[in-house]
Amino acid sequence: MFAYDACLFGVGSKSIYWHSISVLLFGVGSKSIYWHSVSVLLFGVGSKSIYWHFVSVLLSEVGCERRNTKKYSFRQPNLKELRNLTSYVLDPLGFEARFRKLLPLLTTQVDEGLMSMLVQFYDPLYRCFSFPDFQLLPTLEEYAYLVGIPILDQVPFSGLESIPTSQEIADLLHIDESLIHAHMTTKGGIQGLPSEFLIAQATVYGKAMSEDAFEAIFVLLIYGLVLFPNIDKFVDVNVIRIFSALNPVPTLLGDTYFSLHLRNAKGSGTIVCCLPLLYKWFISHLPQTVAFKENKGCLRWSTRLMSLTNDDISWYNRVYDGVQIIDSCGEFSNVPLLGTCGGISYNPVLARRQLGFPLKDKPNNILLEGVFF
């Protein structure tokens, strides 16, 4: 397939140009070649234009090397032991009321092929996913809804918080301080607790039907192994700090954008973020028709995604009616996010349609300036 730069905005009083371009996709199995015509909206803005990087995907399984595709993997911890702990949740409805939608993340079956294809469309300039006829990007509001945890009106995780003492962690988890002190170790240059130790403790309290202690440890494990899987089989002190503050959404979104951006710049590597959450976000926007879901033609995700148009996308969910949108922060014209490994800004102005607002004009270039550190 060929590479194109294209501006993907389609509303407003500005003149709009339609350009039809042919996209060459190599079929798999039958080795047939599919040509797809896609339409790309271009804003006419005099001598200046906003260009979207339209990622090229060349797929071939007939002996040719893949071109213009980047090879990524995802950190997906083994959650078998964590799922086993759900048998000790005595009151599922009460658990959901206290900890929202964390349990479904344990059983989300992620289609890794879909996610591998999604990240090929990541646009590093505008921090979104640019498709031939539209763009999508995860937002704070969407992530908050998907995990059921509201964004608190307080400073989110900054990394400057004091490191919790063994006694503070013991009080948080209802575990004897001497046990915390004995198992506290350093891995990957940061202190924390092995997940094996925490799973063992959760099992003890689960069997004893000590609900408060079990739930505290169990939820911390979900934070450490699912929401923030930074180090395999390890719950670091940053996760403990985020868990104690109960305001994880900005950090979750920050980790997602930071890892996507970093791996895109490197051209390969492991994307470290809450993959089940990113997956749930993306499929919430895919067509909900029976034909698309059944995929009777057994088309590859590359073909299915490239054929989607603006009209196919599930744009808006009424659950966001009345939700206050965070589209800027202080002196920033966009929203800076700080994850557990670094900082990055994202541009919610590009997601207006996802949140129920019309995009009346092209975004101002100034609003799209980004930071990454």
For 163-207, the pLDDT digits (tens) are 999 999 999 999 999 999 999 999 999 999 999 999 999 999 999
Verify that 17 and 38 share a domain, yes or no.
Answer: yes
Higher pLDDT, 352 or 137: 137
Q: How confident is the model at residue 364 (pLDDT cuts 50, 70, 90)?
A: low
Verify that 173 and 222 share a domain, yes or no.
Answer: yes
Closest CA to 340 of 270, 241, 246: 241
> Residue 231 domain-assigned?
yes
pLDDT at 373: 75
Verify that 306 and 321 share a domain, yes or no.
Answer: yes
Instruction: Write out the E strands in the chain.
Output: 4-6, 16-26, 33-43, 52-54, 71-74, 122-123, 128-130, 135-136, 185-187, 190-194, 234-236, 268-271, 335-338, 343-346
Verify that 127 and 187 share a domain, yes or no.
Answer: no
pLDDT at 360: 59
Whether 342 has a pLDDT exceeding 90, the answer reads: yes
For 278-287, the pLDDT digits (tens) are 999 999 999 9
pLDDT at 3: 33
Distance of CA 171 to the CA centre of its chain: 32
Boundary (domain end) residue, out of 218, 245, 272 = 245
Whether 33 has a pLDDT exceeding 80, the answer reads: no
| DSSP codes of every residue in 287-312 | ---HHHHH-TT---HHHHHHT--GGG
Q: Which two tokens stand for residue 46?
A: 């005099």
Q: Which two tokens stand for residue 191?
A: 């202190």
**Which residues does 24 contact at the CB level (< 8 Å), separation at least 6?**
1, 2, 33, 34, 35, 58
Q: Which of 66-75, 80-89, 128-137, 295-304 has the lowest mean pLDDT?
A: 66-75
Verify that 229 and 145 share a domain, yes or no.
Answer: no
Q: How confident is the model at residue 329 (pLDDT cuts 50, 70, 90)?
A: confident
Structural domain count, the chain: 2
Q: Which of 19-33, 215-229, 264-278 has the lowest mean pLDDT?
A: 19-33
Q: How confident is the model at residue 359 (pLDDT cuts 50, 70, 90)?
A: low
Q: Which two tokens stand for residue 371?
A: 């930071």
Whether 267 has a pLDDT exceeding 90, the answer reads: yes
Radius of gyration of the chain from its Cα atoms, rounded to whole angstroms: 22
For 140-163, the pLDDT digits (tens) are 999 999 999 999 988 899 999 999
Verify that 128 and 217 share a domain, yes or no.
Answer: no
Q: Which of 27-41, 83-97, 123-137 has the lowest mean pLDDT?
A: 27-41
40 contacts 54 by C-beta, under 8 angstroms: yes
For 67-81, the pLDDT digits (tens) are 467 889 999 999 999
pTM above 0.95, yes or no: no
Verify that 143 and 268 share a domain, yes or no.
Answer: yes
> Residue 74 domain-assigned?
no
Verify that 273 and 145 share a domain, yes or no.
Answer: yes
pLDDT at 205: 98
Verify that 173 and 292 share a domain, yes or no.
Answer: no
Verify that 217 and 334 share a domain, yes or no.
Answer: no
Q: How confident is the model at residue 353 (pLDDT cuts 50, 70, 90)?
A: confident
Domain membership of residue 343 as a residue range? 4-69+108-152+249-368
> Residue 373 domain-assigned?
no
Q: What is the dihedral of CA 173, 178, 179, 182, to 10 degrees?
A: 130
Verify that 138 and 60 share a domain, yes or no.
Answer: yes
Whether 48 has a pLDDT exceeding 80, the answer reads: no
Q: Which of 12-26, 201-215, 306-320, 349-363 has the lowest mean pLDDT?
A: 12-26
Q: How far apart are CA 228 and CA 75, in angstroms?
A: 10
**Which residues does 312 contact at the CB level (< 8 Å), separation at least 6?**
287, 292
> Residue 101 domain-assigned?
yes
pLDDT at 55: 35
Verify that 274 and 288 share a domain, yes or no.
Answer: yes
Closest CA to 132 of 227, 32, 36, 268: 36
Q: How far apart are CA 266 and CA 232, in angstroms?
A: 22
